[in-house]
């Protein structure tokens, strides 16, 4: 069975093609390209509409199949930006109705967890999912997906991007912050905001922005301190979730998880507690259609069906409600 998955929760329009054997046949990513930072929802939707046909064509070509070979179509039903979600949902409904094939609406965050399990050796991991808008510690436990910890305000990626814009790094700022952070090693104290397994980044962002404006600190020192503080919080929360669930595997997901320093800290934490840390290849870490296609197949196998006429987008859909 072949599933075509459509991802459109935020800046990336992605089309993935997956086989029920677990083989990923194609994963075409079309991210919004901007150097300004900050996404305007209507503009993102325009971008997705523009690239939609090309992305589908490219994915089918890459997979070496025609649209007639597709047996199932899945899409990110939420959470995400309403404007952007609508484009993917409309494309999926149209394919489902025209081709008379089943439609499956899936939860984007769980997509990150399941593609990670498919592509790494992780079997029952705790997922540390860190992206622009999302920061969650997620695991399948006691028969359902549960959120063990999450950000109480903004996502870690958004914090990095806003600070990056403030110091003139452009968008996305994460990779540039990582480079600057590697150059200098003077730690500047920042608020460390973790409550149980939940984290908060708003206060750190305000504090570091004020420090930058005083002109007393270098970009390198601030970038280094920001990474060390924010990532320590994430690793601490993830470790608590692992201790609580007794799980011995940590899986990383989301664009921010491509940060090498975060990966290093996760590996160190896992090593210390006799656990293992897994990182999928970058094209499957970031938002992508392959994870939506794969989750579509898993949900189909479990009997889920989404009716086209009853498939509203769910911008605030929580992973623990999926
Ligand atoms: Fe994501």
- Residue 177's alpha-carbon distances to 37, 121, 258, in angstroms, are 14, 30, 12
User: If you measure from the C-alpha of residue 52 to the centroid of ligand 1, how many angstroms do you get, rounded to a whole number?
Assistant: 19
How sure is the predictor about 184, in pLDDT bands with cuts at 50, 70 and 90?
A: low
Contact 78, 85 (CB under 8 A): yes
pLDDT at 142 over 70: yes
Binned at pLDDT 50, 70 and 90, residue 37 comes out as low
Cis peptide before 172 (omega within 30 of 0): yes
The alpha carbon of 287 and the centre of ligand 1 are apart by a number of angstroms equal to 5
Residue 174 C-alpha to ligand 1 middle, in angstroms?
15
Band the pLDDT of 170: cuts 50, 70, 90. confident
- The rounded Å distance from CA 136 to ligand 1 centre is 10
According to DSSP, the β-strands at 249-253 and 126-130 are parallel
Q: How far does the centroid of ligand 1 lie from the alpha carbon of residue 186, in Å? A: 32
CA of 69 to the centre of ligand 1 (A): 28
* CATH class of the region 124-279: alpha beta
pLDDT at residue 38 tops 80: no
Ligand 1 centre distance from Cα of residue 313 (Å):
16
Intervals of CATH 3.30.420.40 along the chain: 2-112+284-321, 124-279
Q: Indicate whether 35 pLDDT > 90.
A: no
* Residue 86 DSSP code: H
Q: How close is the Cα of 182 to the center of ligand 1, in Å?
A: 26
How far apart CA 79 and CA 75 sit, in angstroms, is: 11
Query: Cα(102) to centroid of ligand 1, in Å?
Result: 24
How many angstroms is it from 133 CA to the middle of ligand 1?
8
Specify the pTM: 0.96
Distance from Cα 134 to the centre of ligand 1, integer Å:
7
Q: Residue 54 C-alpha to ligand 1 middle, in angstroms?
A: 22
CA of 280 to the centre of ligand 1 (A): 13
Cα–Cα dist 127/257, whole Å? 11
pLDDT, one tens digit per residue, over 186-231 is: 999 999 999 989 999 999 999 999 999 999 999 999 999 999 999 9
**Domain 2-112+284-321: which topology?**
Nucleotidyltransferase; domain 5 (3.30.420)
- Residue 108 Cα to ligand 1 midpoint, Å, equals 6
User: What is the number of helices (H) and of strands (E) in the chain?
Assistant: 10, 12
Expressed in angstroms and rounded, the spacing between residue 258 Cα and the centre of ligand 1 is 12
Q: What are 79-125's pLDDT values in tens digits? A: 999 999 999 999 999 999 999 999 999 999 999 999 999 999 999 99
Q: State how far the alpha carbon of 179 is from the alpha carbons of 150, 183, 221, 227, 256, in Å.
A: 26, 7, 12, 11, 14
Q: Give the Å distance between the CA of 109 and the centre of ligand 1.
A: 6
Question: Distance from the CA of 254 to the center of ligand 1, in angstroms?
Answer: 5
**pLDDT of res. 195:** 93
User: Mind listing the pLDDT tens digit for each residue in 252-288?
Assistant: 999 999 999 999 999 999 999 999 999 999 999 999 9
Ligand 1 centroid distance, CA of 142 (Å): 24
Cα 184 to ligand 1 centroid, rounded to whole Å: 30
């Amino acid at each position: 069975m072949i599933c075509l998955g459509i991802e459109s929760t935020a800046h990336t329009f992605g089309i993935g093609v997956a086989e029920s054997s677990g083989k990923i046949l194609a994963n075409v990513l079309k991210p919004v390209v901007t150097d300004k930072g900050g996404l305007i929802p209507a503009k993102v939707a325009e971008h997705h509409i523009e690239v939609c046909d090309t992305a589908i064509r490219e994915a089918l070509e890459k997979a070496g199949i025609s649209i007639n070979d597709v047996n199932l179509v899945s899409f990110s039903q939420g959470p995400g930006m309403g404007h952007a979600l609508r484009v993917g949902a409309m494309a999926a409904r149209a394919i489902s109705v025209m081709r008379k094939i089943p439609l499956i609406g899936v939860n984007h965050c769980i997509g990150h967890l399941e593609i990670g399990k498919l592509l790494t050796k992780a079997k029952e991991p705790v997922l540390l999912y860190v992206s622009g808008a999302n920061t969650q510690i997620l695991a399948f436990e006691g028969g359902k997906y549960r959120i063990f910890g999450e950000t109480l305000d903004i996502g870690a990626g958004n914090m990095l991007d806003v600070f990056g814009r403030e110091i003139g790094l452009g968008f996305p700022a994460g990779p540039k912050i990582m480079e600057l952070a590697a150059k200098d090693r003077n730690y500047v104290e920042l608020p460390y905001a973790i409550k149980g397994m939940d984290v908060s980044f708003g206060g750190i962002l305000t504090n570091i922005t004020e420090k930058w404006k005083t002109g007393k600190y270098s970009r390198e020192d601030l970038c280094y301190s920001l990474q060390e503080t924010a990532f320590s919080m994430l690793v601490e929360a993830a470790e608590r979730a692992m201790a609580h669930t007794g799980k011995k595997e940590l899986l990383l997901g989301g664009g921010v998880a491509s940060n090498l320093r975060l990966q290093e800290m996760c590996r160190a934490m896992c090593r210390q507690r006799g656990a293992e840390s897994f990182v999928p290849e970058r094209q499957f870490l970031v938002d992508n259609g392959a994870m939506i296609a794969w989750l579509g197949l898993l949900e189909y196998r479990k009997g889920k069906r989404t009716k086209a006429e009853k498939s509203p987008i769910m911008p605030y859909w929580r992973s623990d409600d999926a």
